[in-house]
């Protein structure tokens, strides 16, 4: 199993440079050199090289991250089959419910938000495409965990831990496994205040041919999701949408 070789210091450094460029919102060799504690000339070579790749641009003396990241990220998103199958359905769901509608997939044991749609009454959550959060701290992620083997869940917990994010976050392995058990039985998950105070979430897993493809969810104020009737309504709409997506995924447009 994991945990071994990771050489290529120069490659790792080049990504460190990218991180610093992000943090400083652009910089020259000197700033990079100071921030990373390397000689100026070294910083310069890295910037030159990154520029030659197109991921960094030099606008009159100032090096900045280019939009190659956005381009590659968007292409990856649009090529993703589950996104293709979901897009229009999610738009409709957001319009109907007025809430925040999300599509996540699992990657390296974490939840990646592939797409976010906002309805009229949607709350602002600071979500954006590509952001990753833990799987255990919200309904959508729990539905994904609920489809994985217990070994796999243990592996993910080992890798990422069960840190408390709010006072309501589940931080106990046994409690989480119990919760996942009931999610598995119900086919959906609901929770609130576990990832962000005041945010309630509902999620259902997208399963095609017994293969987990991702999860769609709705996020809204905790108070709203606590209402049994509203919860049921959202759940029904989520399930309808899920059905639409599953069919489109299997049989194309």
Partner DNA sequence: TATCTCATCCAAAATGGTCGAACATTTAAT
Partner DNA sequence: ATTAAATGTTCGACCATTTTGGATGAGATA
| Residues of the shown chain interacting with a copy of itself in the complex, contacts defined by CB under 8 A | 5-8, 10-12, 14-15, 18, 22, 25, 45-46, 48-50, 52-53, 55, 57, 65-79, 107-108, 112, 114, 128-132
Considering only CA atoms, which of 76, 150, 71, 144 is closest in space to residue 108? 144
CB of 181: closest distance to a copy of itself in angstroms?
26
Tell me if 10 contacts DNA by CB under 7 A: yes
Phi–psi pair at 64, nearest 5 degrees: -135, 155
The residue (of 103 and 183) whose beta carbon lies closer to a copy of itself is 103
Sign of torsion over alpha carbons 143, 205, 81, 95: negative
Per DSSP, the residues of 161-200 read: ----SSTTS---HHHHHHHHHHHHHHT-EEEESSSSTTEE
Residues 46-85 that bind DNA (CB under 7 A): 46-48, 58, 61
Coil, strand, or helix at residue 147? helix
Of these, 45, 112, 177, 207, which contacts DNA (CB under 7 A)? Answer: 45
CB of 71: closest distance to DNA in angstroms?
24
Distance in angstroms (rounded) separating the CA atoms of residues 157 and 173:
8
Residue carrying the six token digits 């833990």: 134
The residue (of 50 and 189) whose beta carbon lies closer to DNA is 50
Residue 134 contacts residue 171 (beta carbons within 8 Å): no
CB of 92: closest distance to a copy of itself in angstroms?
13
65 binds, among a copy of itself, DNA, none (CB under 5 to 8 A by kind): a copy of itself
Binding residues for DNA (CB under 7 A): 4-5, 7-11, 13, 28-31, 38-42, 44-48, 58, 61
């Amino acid at each position: 199993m994991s945990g071994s070789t990771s050489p290529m210091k120069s490659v790792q450094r080049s990504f460190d440079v990218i991180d610093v460029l992000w943090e400083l919102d652009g910089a020259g060799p000197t700033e990079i050199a100071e921030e990373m504690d390397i000689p100026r000339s070294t910083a310069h070579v890295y910037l030159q090289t990154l520029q030659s790749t197109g991921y960094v641009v030099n606008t009159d003396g100032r090096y900045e991250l280019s939009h190659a990241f956005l381009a590659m990220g968007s292409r990856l998103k649009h090529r993703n089959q589950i996104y293709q199958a979901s897009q229009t359905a999610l738009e409709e769901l957001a319009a109907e419910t007025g809430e925040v509608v999300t599509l996540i997939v699992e990657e390296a044991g974490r939840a990646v938000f592939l797409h976010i749609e906002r309805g009229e009454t949607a709350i602002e959550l600071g979500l954006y495409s590509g952001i990753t959060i833990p799987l255990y701290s919200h309904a959508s992620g729990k539905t994904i965990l609920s489809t994985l083997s217990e070994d796999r869940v243990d592996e993910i917990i080992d890798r990422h831990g069960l840190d408390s994010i709010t006072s309501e976050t589940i931080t106990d392995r046994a409690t989480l496994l119990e919760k996942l058990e009931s999610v598995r039985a119900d086919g959906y998950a609901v929770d609130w205040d576990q990832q962000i105070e005041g945010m309630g979430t509902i999620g259902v897993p997208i399963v095609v041919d017994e293969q987990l493809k991702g999860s769609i969810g709705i996020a809204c104020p905790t108070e709203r999701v606590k209402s049994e009737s509203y919860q049921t309504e959202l759940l029904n709409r989520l399930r309808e949408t899920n059905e639409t997506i599953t069919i489109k995924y299997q049989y194309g447009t």
